[in-house]
Every structure is written in C-alpha cells, then in structure tokens.
Chain A
Amino acid sequence: MNPHQQATHESLSALLDGECNELEMRRLLKQLDSDPALRGQLDTLARTRAAMQADTAAWAGCDISARVREAVAAEPFSKGVISKLWQPLAQTAVAASVAVAVVLGVAYLPLLQDGVPQGVPADSSNATHYAAVPAGSMTRNVSTGAVAVPVAPATVTHTPRVAPDNLDRFEPYVQRHAEYASYNSNSGLMPFARVASFQRAE
C-alpha cells in the first residue's frame, strides 16, 4: 500500500468508525459519489469489518457508500449515526500482529434495516476490491459479493513473512482435514493437493 492508498484507507476507516470530522466526511462523500473504485474500497473495508462480526446476516449486495450517504442525509453530520453503522465492530478485528491475517469479505450485518437501498451500481459486480491488511501482506480478491446466494467474496491475505509460526499452527488442522476428507468423500487423494497448496501459499 503506497502512502496515498494508506491515507485513503485511513480516511475510509475513520468514516466507518464515525471518527471523521464534518469537513472530511463531506469531502469523502463527494469523492465517493464520483469515484467507483473508492466506493468499492469502502465497500470492501465495510464487509471486511462486518465479516469479523456477522454470524448469519446475508450479504445484500448493497452500496455501502449509499448507506453512509443515507445515514448522513437522515441525520446530517451526526457522528453517532455513522458510528452506529458499524457497531459492534472492533473487538475481533484482525490484529496486524496475527501472522496469517486472512480477511474475508463476507456478509455484513443488516445495518440500517430501514431504507436499505435496493439498487446496486452496475460497476459493483465487477469492481476489484482490496481489503485492509497488515503492511507487507499480499491481498488477492477472488470474488465479489453475491445476491441470490449470500456466499462470501473471498479476500485472501497471507502474511507468513511476519510470523510464519502462526501459519504453521493451522497446518496440522488442514492436514488432518485432508486425511479425513480423503477417506470420507469421493475425491480420493485430491484433498492432499489442497494441503500442498495451503502449505506452499507463502
């Protein structure tokens, strides 16, 4: 992430946290109106955060920035409203110190239940999203949101260089799962190919 991207990321993060000042919020909302990529970025950031919280909520394919705008329109410049958008959020955020911080953009909480915009911008289905990840990590988005089936868009992040031990911690589980799957499904040794791929992800 270059300094400019970092700054943008921090701004969006602050917006979601309700920590923007009034001026900054207006600037961002204006920018969001004209910049689909930025909307995508906000969208991904929001989903990433919600992914760490949501249990059963369905990803509705909504435009996050539209939600923010709506919230602001409903209660202009209310820091409280913005905060409510992402409550509760923080306690399980992936810490930069967690070695393998793989953040998946998943369904987010059905926030602002009333007045959720039904329309989805045409570009949202094709937008490439990049999630907030610890510095030095690799992020790859392999899908975007879904509507009919609320399956997660998968944003994959590996930071094994930071602390490879943590990746190792989960290897035995993947290995064992592969063994069980090999015995108990119709895929033969194929599950072991998955393990190999997992081990070599770094």
Chain B
Amino acid sequence: VFIASLFTLWMSVSVAVPAQADHSEAHQWLDRMSHALRETAYDGVFVYEQGDHMHSLRIVHAVKDGVEHERLVHMDGEPREIIRKGHEITCVHPGDEKVRLDHAVPAGAFAQRFFGESVSNLKAYAADMGKPVRVAGHDAVTVVLTPQDEWRYGHRLALEQSSGLLLRSELVDAAGHVLERFQFTSLTLGDVSEAALQPSAKGHAVPHHMPAPAAADTVPAHWRLAWVPAEFTMAMSDVSRNAGDKSGVQMYTDGLVGFSVFVETASAEQPEVVMQHGATVVYSRTMPLGDTGLHAVTVVGEIPVLAARKLAASVQAVGTGNVQ
C-alpha cells in the first residue's frame, strides 16, 4: 500500500506523453529554464513557503552589459534587500547589522562549471513532463525531477511557456510531501528599469565580493569527505587563513541543490543537533579528527537528514600526523 501510494504520488504529476519523448522534452525545458533564470528580465513577487511559514519577496532580475543584476526585496517584516551585480552582493539592512562573508574561494573549474552549466544533464534525477498548469497568470509546463537515490529530494517545477522561466518550484520528499515551495504570485516579463534594480530601503549596506578563483592561493584543507552522494560535486572550498585555526568549509552541489560542510576545532563535546526547516537541514556534531583533536562538523543543505548525518560521519583527517 505504501509503495503503491508513493508511486502514485510521483506518477500523478508525470502523466503526459510517452516516456521517451517525455525525458528529452523535459531536459529541453530544463535547459531553457537554466538560461531563462540567468538571461531573462523580469520583475515579480513570489511567495516562499516552508513548513507553516510563508513570506513574500519581490525579485527583479535583468542582464545589463552582460552582467546579471538581481534585487531581492523582503515584502514582510523589517525592510531588507539583497542586491547582486555579477559576483558582488550587497545586503541592505536597517541599522548596522553585520552580515559576514569571509574569503570564500570558489573551487576553480567546479564553480565555473556550475555557473555556466545547464541543468539539462542532471544525472541524479529522472526528468519527466507533467501536466500543464497556470501560475501567476502565466501558462506553464511542469517538469518533474525524481531523485535516483535517497540522498536528495525531488523537484516539481513549473516553467513559463514562452521563456522557460521558473514560476513555481517545489521540493518534495519521498512520500510526496512538499517541504518548501517558491511560487510567483505576480510577474512581469521583459524590460526592467534601472530604478527597479536600485535599493529602496535605507540602511546599512554590507557589500560582499566573491574573489575570482585562485587555485594557487587555496590552502589545502586538513580534512575531506570520505563519502559524497553520487553526482554531488565540490563547488567551493575554503579554509581559514588564521594561523592555528583549522576551520574550513566545502560546498557541494548536484546542480540543483547543495550542501555545505563546516569543520572547526572544538574545545568540548557538544550534543548532536539536528534541525530541519522546510527542506533545509542543519546537522551538527563533534568528533575527533585524526590526531588534530576534537572538531565540530556542521552540515547545512537542502538534503535529507540521513544524508547530512552520513556526510558528517564521513569527515576524515587528511595527512594525519602532518597537521597540528
């Protein structure tokens, strides 16, 4: 009964054309989606729903002189905005709240790969067409991405018929429950004015710059993941430049979602912590790492908790004996 109901849930959104045509058509749409996300000009309001929380945000996106401009405005609560120009991010907060960003170094070719790569060749998911829907006043096709293993969630995507722009995205667990949902409620496609990309909120602006990939500058981490789910590739790796500080982070993505693993020296055992909000899981534990002592390992990502847990457990010391 369980298998049957599960199967029905997955299949219920993917009943359309014959399977073979379905796959290739779905991949074509995914290709269009990845281009549309980066290349389309749009201005809209979407709601973001996680668990029983929902809030709305305005997003403005345009490409000016080959550079992506994006502005995300929180429509609920205190005014906050995030402005992105290419690799540069500015957060605008009321007051003088600080948002940190240290020297995150993209892992060279990997990062470039995900900047430029289309999502049409996602090997970790089976892609199928679903039923046409209407979202935010726009006709849309549906693409269903079914995970091929238990280490990631499924996706249901509604893409605008003419541009392929993502209108609705749902992360779905194996039982068919929606863990989080993005959905446009209003959307204008086409020209976006310069003014719409400028911050409207007054407050403290915190600029962040993503440095260019610099492989030679990358300090090798003193730890590694012995296990990573299939098709997840390292997109970013960073270690602390502070002498004696053994903290570091690695970020992996399968092209759609990602997880970050933070490893830091710990002075004392901490209780295991597992938090999940919508699709985002935070898993943290302390563990000894080779002869470098006790470390806190924290995994954050849009992955099932089992995956986060297994990832944390797989952290190993590299070059044990050489690192103090």
Contact = CB atoms under 8 A, between A and B. Distances in A.
A146 B3 CA distance: 8
A54 B280 CA distance: 20
B96 interface: no
A154 B276 contact: yes
A180 B238 CA distance: 11
Given A107-B306, A177-B300, A186-B114, A55 B313 contact: yes
Contacts of B304: 106, 151-152
A152 B298 contact: no
Contacts of A104: 274, 276, 281, 305
Contact of A197 (B50, B70, B104): B50
B122 to A, nearest CB: 10
Interface residues of A, number: 66
B293 to A, nearest CB: 20
A26 interface: no
Given A61-B2, A184-B258, A185-B255, A200 B55 contact: yes
Interface of A is mostly: loop
**Interface size class, chain B:** 35 or more
Interface of B: 1-3, 5-7, 33-34, 37-38, 48, 50-53, 55, 57, 59, 61, 70, 72, 74, 77, 80, 82, 84, 87, 89, 99-101, 104, 106, 111, 114-115, 119, 147, 149-150, 153, 169, 173-175, 177, 179-180, 182, 208, 210, 235-236, 249, 251, 253, 255-260, 262, 271-282, 284, 298, 300-302, 304-306, 309-310, 313
13 contacts: A51-B305, A102-B273, A106-B309, A144-B175, A144-B177, A176-B262, A185-B114, A186-B119, A189-B84, A190-B182, A193-B182, A194-B302, A196-B74
Interface of A: 51-52, 54-56, 58, 61, 92, 94-95, 98, 100-104, 106-107, 120, 122, 124-125, 140, 142-154, 156, 158, 166, 170, 172-177, 179-190, 192-194, 196-198, 200-201
Given A180-B236, A192-B72, 17 more contacts: A102-B273, A106-B304, A106-B305, A125-B2, A146-B174, A149-B147, A151-B150, A151-B173, A152-B304, A156-B275, A180-B251, A181-B260, A185-B253, A185-B257, A189-B82, A193-B55, A200-B77
